[in-house]
Chains A and B, each alone.
Chain A
Amino acid sequence: DAGITQSPRHKVTETGTPVTLRCHQTENHRYMYWYRQDPGHGLRLIHYSYGVKDTDKGEVSDGYSVSRSKTEDFLLTLESATSSQTSVYFCAISTTGSPYEQYFGPGTRLTVT
């Protein structure tokens, strides 16, 4: 258990509304990640962070933004939610100095109607 929590755990929202998902860690790990999981696609990286205010895009970053103002919190924002963003979102941290070994939060199930 790497002390990772995600909030909310479940959310239903309407198309066009903004949504923010929060990932919180208690162990001051430098690297944090946001993934989405969809059937038949495995996990796909949305954005990641390698320190406070240092973030970069993953393979499916369109329609998403992130912020990291504190080491312990990594926020994922959907500026204007679409039905294609219905998914399960996982936050992860890396305990080493490189993104080789990750530990995952419990996930957030987001439904966009």
Chain B
Amino acid sequence: AQSVTQLDSHVSVSEGTPVLLRCNYSSSYSPSLFWYVQHPNKGLQLLLKYTSAATLVKGINGFEAEFKKSETSFHLTKPSAHMSDAAEYFCVVSAMGRDDKIIFGKGTRLHILP
């Protein structure tokens, strides 16, 4: 069975400061992990993905995430927030197995303060 937990429903940071969005997962199999971003009134856009290659994954717009198996975490980071990063972010887990499913987290809304 798989599950994903986004630890914060809302995160606020000032423009120019680092961003950290936390995601923990559980999976019976080797997981693939994703982060998606959704800007207001838009569809979801793939930000980055981990599929058992390098544990540090770089995505678009300066975001990156690190897969830590020992901590079952896949936190999303960015060194310096920009106003355009204000959006909702979804952590997603998927794993090959008999019950091959994609599970979405409930989302973290990122607010950028001027």
Contact = CB atoms under 8 A, between A and B. Distances in A.
Contact of B104 (A43, A98, A100): A43
Interface of B: 32, 34, 36, 42-46, 49, 51, 90, 94, 96, 100-102, 104-107
Given A98-B100, A99-B94, A101-B34, A41 B43 contact: no
Tell me the dominant secondary structure on chain B's binding face. strand
Contact of A90 (B43, B46, B51, B96): B43
Contacts of B106: 40-42
Given A42-B107, A102-B102, A107 B94 contact: no
A103 B92 CA distance: 13
A44 interface: yes
A68 to B, nearest CB: 19
Nearest to B96: A98
Nearest to A91: B43
When A and B form their complex, which 10 residue pairs have the shortest distance between CB atoms, in order from nearest? A104-B43, A42-B104, A42-B106, A43-B104, A104-B44, A106-B43, A100-B32, A100-B94, A42-B107, A107-B43
